[in-house]
Amino acid sequence: MRTTIPRSIALLATGLLAGAFFYTYLNIVPTFYEVPEQVHFTFRTQLMTHNGIVMPALMALAIIGAVWYAIVSRSHAGARNFALLAAGLALTALLVTRFGNVPINQLMRTWSPANPPANWKELLHTWDIYHLIRTLAGIGSFIAFIIAVQLTAGNAGKA
């Protein structure tokens, strides 16, 4: 019972985080490059407004849930270690976002959609690389947490 709430929070948060990043990587980012530049920049700027609230909260919840699960599962070293790995990977996604993607997002907010800077494609390529890194970190976090839960599945009646 003591693991139910943190396990549920961490599974939901790491799963949603991985899914959001993965969906963006496979669907939204390619679409950005298939529409006119003005549409691309206008949509991207509006998306930032919504993501600026939801995604940091989701990353924080993934970290908190995984660490909480590691604490309540401390008697099972494997589960604790994989839960901490999940938290670390979610933290990686948060740090890459904050120090990689967000500065580029802030710069994009200053661009005129009708007249972006000459190096806009290079800057967005850099953004795409940061996004790939945080996507892999988010997926890794979810997988690591699933492993943590599976390692304690045999002890479900004891927890």
Collapse the DSSP code of 20 into the 3-class scheme (helix H, G, I; strand E, B; otherwise coil) and give the result: helix
pLDDT the model gives residue 114: 81
At 37, list the tokens. 């530049």
CA distances (Å), 132 to each of 1, 26, 51, 73, 125, in order? 36, 10, 17, 31, 11
Amino acid code (one letter) for 8: S
Which residues fall within 8 angstroms of residue 80, CB to CB, at 6 or more apart?
70, 73, 74, 148
| pLDDT reported for residue 69 | 97
This prediction has a pTM of 0.91
Q: How far is CA 20 from CA 13, 26, 76, 80, in A?
A: 10, 10, 30, 25
- Digit-by-digit pLDDT tens for the chain (159 residues) are 689 999 999 999 999 999 999 999 999 999 999 999 888 888 998 898 888 889 999 999 999 999 999 999 999 999 999 999 999 999 999 999 999 999 999 999 898 888 889 999 999 999 999 999 999 999 999 999 999 999 988 655 444
